[in-house]
Amino acid sequence: MMKLTFRHNGREMPMERMFEAMQREVIDTGMKHFEEKLRGVASSIVDTETGKHADVFVRRTSDTTMVLKTSGSPAFAAELERRLGLDAGAVEVDKVDTEKPPLVYLAHGSEDKETIVRPLAHRLMEKGIDVWFDNWEIRAGDSLRQKMEEGLGNCTHFVVVLTPTSMTKPWVNAEIDAAFVRRVAGISKLIVLRCGVEVSSLPPFLAAQLSPEFRPGSDEDFERLAADIYGVGLKPALGPRPGYLKSVPDGLAGWSRGVVAVAEFLVSDSKSGLFADPMVTVDEVAAATGLREDDVADAVSELEDAGLVEVHRSLQGGRHSFCPKASLFVEFDRLLAGIDSKGDAAAIVAWLLNSGAEGASADQVAKHFPDWADRRINSALNYLDESKVVLTSKSLDSMWAVSILMLNERSRRFARENT
């Protein structure tokens, strides 16, 4: 009986192996096509909260699954999902750099502007609270109604300064009516400050809510107002956690403590910032971090599901080893290793654009930035490679994350928006 053999990509193999290889190639081609479609759609969307184009990261977790993440706002992620026909929540949002300060709309009577409202507006700004104050926002030739509607439409908090004078102003009462509608709809908060006005004098719907007395110049009253705007109480701050409890840094709130501890070990222990540096086992990381082995194993599983580590499972049932993928350094270097990979990536692209070159080798990058350690350069190259704001090629025996980078249609925009 004749045994049939086939050749695929120059290699001889049995028929069943050939079909498996062809199936993998079809899946890989389809995944790459989707990645390119995703990046093309993303590049056409301007984030409404920042006015910029957000970076998008595509990380494969298996042959047929991937994780999608963006540095843009939830609104950007939702629009990307809509255009791609994805389910809500399919695109993860990096919480870093998306928090905006509260925006207060100050309603008042003109007679109280200089004595109460302007000093209050300045103090709120100094406290990190943005303020819509008519004297600052309305310029010659502007429509008063349109500008006030914009202020009301964007504010997170409507603060009305009620004095015996302002209570009689029709315009102030109209603003209060609009603010009340927004409060009922859950769009913004309504805060009433009584300055020389008794609670019994307030309209019924204002009297039904907490309306603190506000004494101009009182530090105590101002601190209470600022705390209300930020949504915090005036309770004393909690003391620090015990040293054996690893806290999660700001910006990594979506990760467990175990993941943060393991990721911090990997980015700190890596000398190069390359894939598979370091290659470690669960017990080694447990000994170094003080975590239980079960907790490390759970953290590794989370990181593997997110496409950030590669796990090598022993066929003989021994200890599994695992290592970071380049995407782990992109995800954690900034907050856990103190390396601003995005800022450094933007500096590299700006240098290429300014020099007029279409591209450069990693060695040329290192020569142009002589003060940067190899680890820092690789962190920036990882970011450029994963965000696809340049074209890259890699060499297996190179000391760099990518060996060549070439400008593409996204490069100029990335440099302009990040430098």
Q: What is the pLDDT of residues 204-214, one digit of tens each?
A: 777 777 788 89
Do 221 and 107 have their domain in common?
A: yes
Banded model confidence at residue 11, pLDDT cuts 50, 70, 90: low
Give 92's strand partners. Answer: 69
Cα radius of gyration (the chain): 28
CA distances from 346 to 70, 349, 350 (A): 17, 5, 6
**Within a domain: residue 3?**
no
User: 192 with 166: CB under 8 angstroms?
Assistant: no
Do 119 and 75 have their domain in common?
A: no
**Within a domain: residue 1?**
no
Q: Is the pLDDT of residue 350 over 90?
A: yes
Q: What is the pLDDT of residues 91-115, one digit of tens each?
A: 988 765 445 788 998 888 889 889 9
**Within a domain: residue 4?**
no
Identify the pLDDT of residue 315. 63
User: 324 with 401: CB under 8 angstroms?
Assistant: no
Q: Is 418 or 179 the better-scoring residue by pLDDT?
A: 418
Give the domain-ending residue among 99, 126, 146. Answer: 99
Average model confidence (pLDDT) across the chain: 85
**Within a domain: residue 16?**
no
Identify the pLDDT of residue 85. 86
State the angle between helix axes of 374-387 and 341-355 in degrees (0 to 180), rounded to the nearest 10: 80
Q: What is the torsional sign of CA 128, 132, 134, 140?
A: positive
Do 80 and 189 have their domain in common?
A: no
Within 13 Å and on the Cβ side, how many CA atoms surround 217?
Answer: 2
Q: Is the pLDDT of residue 356 over 70?
A: yes
Q: How far out from the chain centre does Cα 233 lie?
A: 27
User: Which among 356, 390, 352, 391 is positioned nearest to 369, based on CA atoms?
Assistant: 352
Which amino acid, 91?
V
41-50, 176-185, 251-260, 304-313, range with greatest mean pLDDT: 304-313
Number of domains in the chain: 4
Q: Name the 3-class secondary structure at 137.
A: helix
Which residues of 103-235 form beta strands (DSSP E)? 103-107, 130-132, 157-162, 189-194
Q: Name the 3-class secondary structure at 250.
A: coil
Do 209 and 111 have their domain in common?
A: yes
CA distances from 267 to 213, 272, 335, 351, 370 (A): 52, 9, 10, 27, 22
Strands 359-361 and 103-107: unpaired
State which residues form the domain around 389: 339-418
Q: Is the pLDDT of residue 22 over 50?
A: yes
Give the domain-ending residue among 50, 83, 99. Answer: 99
Identify the pLDDT of residue 23. 78
Do 202 and 274 have their domain in common?
A: no
Banded model confidence at residue 172, pLDDT cuts 50, 70, 90: confident
Do 146 and 223 have their domain in common?
A: yes
Q: What is the pLDDT of residues 79-89, one digit of tens each?
A: 999 888 888 88
Q: How far apart are CA 407 and CA 1, in angstroms?
A: 57
**What is the helix (H) or strand (E) element at residue 43, kind and residue range?**
none
Which residues of 163-270 form beta strands (DSSP E)? 189-194
Phi, psi of 277 (to 5 degrees): -120, 105
User: Which among 11, 30, 33, 36 is positioned nearest to 21, based on CA atoms?
Assistant: 11
Banded model confidence at residue 324, pLDDT cuts 50, 70, 90: very high
Give 190's strand partners. Answer: 158
Which of the residue ranges 2-16, 92-106, 126-140 would you say has the lowest mean pLDDT?
A: 2-16
Which amino acid, 374?
D
Do 306 and 360 have their domain in common?
A: no
| Tokens (6 digits) for 58 | 């595509």
**Within a domain: residue 71?**
yes
Do 286 and 306 have their domain in common?
A: yes
Do 301 and 261 have their domain in common?
A: yes
**Within a domain: residue 273?**
yes
**Within a domain: residue 301?**
yes
Identify the pLDDT of residue 334. 92
Do 140 and 182 have their domain in common?
A: yes
Do 74 and 125 have their domain in common?
A: no
Residue 314, domain CATH = 1.10.10.10
User: Which among 149, 211, 157 is positioned nearest to 189, based on CA atoms?
Assistant: 157
Do 291 and 226 have their domain in common?
A: no
Q: How far apart are CA 139 and CA 144, in angstroms?
A: 9
Phi-psi region of 153 (alpha: psi -120 to 50; beta: other; left: phi over 0): alpha
Mean pLDDT of 308-322: 79
**What residue spans of 270-368 are helical by DSSP H?**
282-289, 293-305, 326-332, 341-355, 362-368
Phi, psi of 253 (to 5 degrees): -65, -20
Give the domain-ending residue among 287, 318, 334. Answer: 334
Q: What is the pLDDT of residues 237-250, one digit of tens each?
A: 666 554 334 566 77
**Within a domain: residue 243?**
no
Mean pLDDT of 147-158: 82
Mean pLDDT of 170-197: 80
Identify the pLDDT of residue 88. 87
CA distances from 204 to 98, 159, 171, 207, 210 (A): 38, 18, 19, 5, 12
Identify the pLDDT of residue 389. 93
Q: What is the pLDDT of residues 269-301, one digit of tens each?
A: 999 999 999 999 999 999 998 889 999 999 999
